[in-house]
Amino acid sequence: MSERRSTISRALTIGTVALAPPFVSLGLLLLFIWALTAGGGYFWPMWPYWALVVITALRAIHVWDHSRPDERRRPFDALLGYGAVWSLGLIAIWGMSGGHYFWPVWPMLGFLILLGTPWIWGRSRTNRKLEVRVDELTRTRAGAVDVQASELRRIERDLHDGAQARLVALSMQLGRAEDRLAGKGADAGDVELVRQARLEATAAITELRDLARGISPPVLADRGLEAAVQSLADRSGMHVSVNAEIDHRPPPAVENAAYFVVAEALTNAAKHSPGAPVRITVWLEHSELGIVVADDGLGGADPGGSGLIGLRQRVEALDGWLEVRSPAGEGTTVRAILPCQ
């Protein structure tokens, strides 16, 4: 607002300063002539003064309008500015001609109608366009998020059936080779070499498994959210009670987001309140999935921490809502609502 005001005042200054020397000289000349001729009678110079003021004002508006960065608003604002100058000019004429009946109301009303009609029309057209655009974006984003979630599940499955299975087969063959070599009383170094190879293959399997779990937890795809949350609770290493009421499966994207909300909340609870009991509640009602993860620990979790920020982004990408309350000494509560359309 203050920036806008300073722009206006700067424009007025520039517009006026350029015109000042000739206008001021002209004004003084007129005053001089009036003083010489009429000797203080009817002050006719007010009419040329009026003209000078109006010209200066129009000039200032022109300069101001062209000095602004937003080109789209220029024609409209210029019209508004010229209209204002015109109305004030008419009121001045009305005042200088002795007042009486306030006739400038009519041209002013006409001007308002002239300006208002395209404004209202443009506004509603913009609104309609925006509505269509918002609908379109909502739909395409939901589509993109769903596609992404199914793609992640497909990648997990491909890893499982492809690379992981082959590595298991490889490690099994290495195990058999090792066993045969050892059985034949082969050189200990040779047996050790095969054993090392087998351990490498096993390590690769473990890494792939962790990777796959991070991409899309298998139990979530296989058994749904309730089982996956229970599994998270089981492996969290804490006292966790789970209360889940989900009678049908929400879309994969919602399931994934809900799973990671619970996972991150449990990680946080383990970090900030180790040993404190945790309560998880998940419900599906009126096509909304609700999640609450609460502990009675120390509180003081940082809602701006990277884990929670990532979580919020995940939830907001689904038009959901996430809240973290963690007052010191009162435990931590993470709540999330995810719409499932």
Partner 1 sequence: MSEPEPAPVRVVIVEDHALLREGLLALLTENGIDVVATAEDGPGLLRIVAGHKPDLAICDVRLPPTFTDEGIKAALEARRRLPSLALLVLSQYVEPAYSGELLASGESGVGYLLKERVSEVRTFVDAVRRVAAGGTALDREVVGSLMRERHSSGAGGSSPLDTLTVRERETLELIAQGKTNAAVARELVVTLGAVEKHISNIFQKLDLPATDGDHRRVLAVLTYLRATGG
Residues that bind partner 1 (CB under 8 A): 157, 160-161, 164-169, 171-176, 178-179, 198, 201-202, 205-206, 209, 212-213, 218-219, 221-223, 227, 230-231, 234-239, 241, 274-276
- Residue 141 or 239 having the CB closest to partner 1: 239
Q: Which two tokens stand for residue 123?
A: 């506004």
Q: Between helices 252-272 and 306-316, what is the axis angle to 10°?
A: 160
- Closest to partner 1 by CB, 269 or 289: 269
Distance from C-alpha of 30 to C-alpha of 331, rounded to nearest angstrom: 82
Taking the least distance from each CB to partner 1, the nearer of 131 and 207 is 207
Instruction: Please report how close the Cβ of residue 144 comes to partner 1 at its closest, in angstroms.
Output: 25
**CB contact burial 34-68 (16+ within 10 A = b; e otherwise):** beeeeeeeeeebbeebeebbbebbbbbbebbbeee
Smallest distance from partner 1 to CB 146, Å: 19
Give whichever of 200 and 288 is closer to partner 1, judged by the CB atom. Answer: 200
3-state secondary structure of 18: helix
Burial class (CB in 10 A: 0-12, 13-18, 19+), 168: middle
Nearer residue to partner 1 within complex by CB, 141 or 180: 180
CB of 216 to partner 1, least distance (A): 12
Residue (160 or 335) nearer to partner 1, CB: 160
CB of 203: closest distance to partner 1 in angstroms? 10
- Joined together, the tokens standing for residue 106 give 């009519």
* Pairing of the two strands 288-295 and 332-339: antiparallel
- DSSP designation for 216: S
Length of the chain in terms of residues written = 341
Beta strands in the chain (DSSP E): 240-245, 278-285, 288-295, 321-325, 332-339
Give the span between the Cα atoms of 254 and 6, in whole angstroms.
Answer: 49
Compare residues 234 and 285 and give the one whose CB is closer to partner 1: 234
List, as one string, the DSSP characters of 72-121.
Answer: GGHHHHHHHHHHHHHHHHHHHHHHHTT--S-TTHHHHHHHHHHHHHHHHH
What is the rounded distance in angstroms from the CA atom of residue 292 to the CA atom of residue 322?
10
Least separation in angstroms between CB 175 and partner 1: 4
Closer CB to partner 1, 74 or 213, in the complex: 213
- Smallest gap from Cβ 171 to partner 1, in A, equals 4
